[in-house]
Amino acid sequence: MIGLTYRIGLWSTHFRCLPRNCRVAVLYFLAEEPIQDRQQQDCCLIVEVHIPDRVDDQWVQPAAENAIEEEFGKALTLWSANEDEALQYLRLDPGATRGLFDLRSGVPLVWHLLPIV
């Protein structure tokens, strides 16, 4: 599976608690094209989806694309990325605009908008 990282233990404080023995897969996606933020500045969109390891992940990318379209009003293609690629961008701008919602019950989606300079 591309773009997969396992974490063991509890969700961070933003997420629901899971049993200690539950593994969580983190899938990362990058938007194919820039998207504008509220200040109309072009931004790179990074999406991260946290799924319990026993959940089939085949539905995640299409569901994430639909959710992002609803959130931003624009259809975007998301490309799978690995953790290193995603974190390379996120480390550049720790003050990026972020949002969080449940893609499905117990499956949070976190989006990050990083201005392109």
Q: What is the DSSP letter of 77?
A: -
Judged against a pLDDT cut of 80, whether residue 6 lies above it is answered with no
In the chain, the largest separation of any two C-alpha atoms, in whole Å, equals: 44
Whole-prediction pTM: 0.77
**Count of domains in the chain?**
1
76-99 tens-digit pLDDT: 999 999 999 888 888 877 778 999
Average pLDDT over residues 35-55: 89
Instruction: pLDDT band for 20, please (50, 70, 90 cuts).
Output: low
Which structural domain range is residue 106 located in?
Answer: 4-115
- Is 87 in contact with 100 (CB distance < 8 Å)? no
Q: What is the pLDDT at residue 22?
A: 67
Judged against a pLDDT cut of 50, whether residue 67 lies above it is answered with yes
